[in-house]
Structure 1
Amino acid sequence: MSIHRSLLLIALPFSLALAQACDKAGDKPHTDTPPEDDTGKPDDSEVEDVDQDGDGITGADGDCDDDDAKSYPGALELCDKVDNDCDDSIDDGLRVCFYPTEGEGSSMDSDFDAGSASSPAEILLTTPGTLVLGEGEWFVSLRISADVSVTGAGVDETTLSGGDSVSVILVEDDLVDAVTLSDLTLTNGQATRLHKDVAKYPAGGGLYCLSSSEPHTTLTLEGVSITASSAVVGSALYSLGCTVNINNSNFDGIDAITETAGVFLENTTATISNTTIQNFSATQDGGGVYVTSDASLALFGSHLLGNKSASSGGAIFNQGQISCAVGQEDGAEGTIQSNTSLGGGGVYIDEYDSAIISSTGCDWGSGTDDNSPDDVNGDGFTAGQSFTTESFTCTYLGCTTN
């Protein structure tokens, strides 16, 4: 047999086997479809854990925000409304933070901690924003000359004290549109500003608001307690030219010293809702509240209790416009009770054409809760008037029931 024939016989079986293999492969057309368990993403076990923000901590090591170099376990908490130390709490450990309307926040712990009972710190807020106070007591005189909100942790948790030497909060810039105070206590204020009409009289021991041009500053109090503060005029609150809105608050005159009213309102439009004004004792007209001829006061579901005047108007001395009505939201009855003076234990109406009071849905007390010697009296009254819950309207000349 020739060598060529031998090679042919050897190659033929191999060629047949190769052809059969190709035929079988051809039965299944080739596709690019990946296996069913292929997600299309890199296998995490094969990818290096990268520190995205360069803070030295990776996500695998507990960095709660690997796009923020200021956030990682053990980081210093900042006043930025971010969980910097990755403990699931924002700005924890910081007691005083100021967040400007524009820009980054900052801690004011050291500013507030610098004050003491004998030497309160004077703190200026000149930038619009929000001041957040945690739990604690600080001795300060806070001067606000920008649109600022001051919020505490609650009246029993956050206290600002004037140390019986300074007004606690002063708002006195005509460029201020709005100031809001909420969830805190102001106490032991001593007036450091003077009453406009009688410059020798210190005014506004707890809170002083002055707005001499339009648009007038709007001052809002929500859940605020003002206690044990002193002034000749307006020991708790003095407002000249401000628009005042007070809700769910408490003004208490125990340990306060005042000659005229715990709350003094001049050229002011005031709305007081679900608030108690109690225990103020004045040596002059107006124990609880003094309303001048260019001011108005609307009371909704509020309570004036146990206030005293050594002259006229135990609860209120009125030259302007006053209304007493049920609560706007809950319909709760307002009360003017247990107030005393020489005349107008509840309200005394001075001889002004502007002076008027209307009452709808308010309880003026009876028996041991009654005002003494009467509920309403005025310059033109022949005798004081007493009411319980009926609706009525009074001017300085007398009253009519509605």
Structure 2
Amino acid sequence: MEAREANFDGLVGPTHNYAGLSFGNVASQNNEKSVANPKAAAKQGLRKMKQLADLGFLQGVLPPQERPSLRLLRELGFSGNETRVIERAAKEAPELLAAASSASAMWTANAATVSPSADTHDGRVHFTPANLTSKLHRAIEHEATRRTLRAIFADEARFAVHDALPGTPALGDEGAANHTRFCAEYGKRGVEFFVYGRSEYRRGPEPKRYPARQTFEASRAVAQRHGLDDAATVYAQQSPDVIDAGVFHNDVIAVGNRETLFCHERAFVDQSAVYDQLRTQLSKQGAAFNVIEVPDAQVSVADAVTSYLFNSQLLTRPDGKQALVVPQECRENPRVAEYLDRLMSGSGPIDDLLVFDLRESMKNGGGPACLRLRVVLNEQERTAVKPGVWIDDTLFGRLDAWIEKHYRDRLAPADLADPSLLVESRTALDELTQILGVGSLYDFQR
């Protein structure tokens, strides 16, 4: 039974804006208070989904979350009717209104960690929504994420969608942005690779400038919850120096697929030992291990952060060859462009380069890999997925028209104070759940 990797991209929400909420994310901070274009952002992401689907990749879509979150604002003490809540928050605590209005759930690499059925003890696909405790605007996502995943992956005989880990700094979990799976073939048992920034209880180096968002304890808990074999699980610490340089998740400095790891030479603490562990564990599964290590002398960490070279998708095409999906910014950075030209002219494991315009997402610090959640599915599991979320010509056309109808083409931080934005967003989301056939996902629908 053939297993394939599907990518479920987050559809950018109607409140996409640049509030600069993510300390440690250089792009988010640099573009704070600039004017966003939600319509363009959503269409850029949707075009990437469609083009990859057209090339034969399995491509699904995950809906946005309801924003602004009236639940959060009420929990924080703002009372009255909905208009009054928004007006009071805008006047008294605009930073809290910004947090309640963030469209950050679009970056579904942080939605959850996923382990395929080939790796788990009970033979089910396991999902653990990330608690995202490091940022208020993201910590409010996991309940809706769980609800969405349970609607799309509803067959409990094949899928296990867990609650998030307890929301404490010791168990800070940022999802698949710090998780990679290596294997000879998607349907065979693989090696799951968890990268963390710090440990709550073990002694070790930590970044000094920016926070380490993923803990070892969270990674280990997810692996135990998913029923992974210890012998096929590898943990590595992200270099504290690169976190301090703006590499807030591992997927900003490394990406992997099947038997290939593409990473910067400064990605991990004790990097050669990490390679040895992965090579040893993969050999036990009958798989090889290929490393493409990018030298700092050719592409600096700063270049990696500004171009998002490693926040790329490394995908296996239907013909078995590998393609690297990168943002347009990689072509605009001369050192990164030169490196990619050399990479593609060589005889390595990457055969094709696909370049996408994701400018609106990139300005908030999210590239191609941030926008997708990887889910390996065998044929029966694919059949069990809610059918209305798979991208094809029909769904693309309906979603493109939906965006055109409901989204603004200009949204400044001051516009978050407009109560009509809530009405517009709810109207759009109510229609979207009907398009995708996922039922009543949102609080206002229940």
With structure 1 as the length reference, what TM-score do the two structures score? 0.24
Structure showing greater relative contact order (alpha-carbon pairs closer than 8 Å, 6 or more residues apart): 2
Rg larger for: 1
Task: Pick the structure with more strand per residue.
Answer: 1
Task: Pick the structure with more helix per residue.
Answer: 2
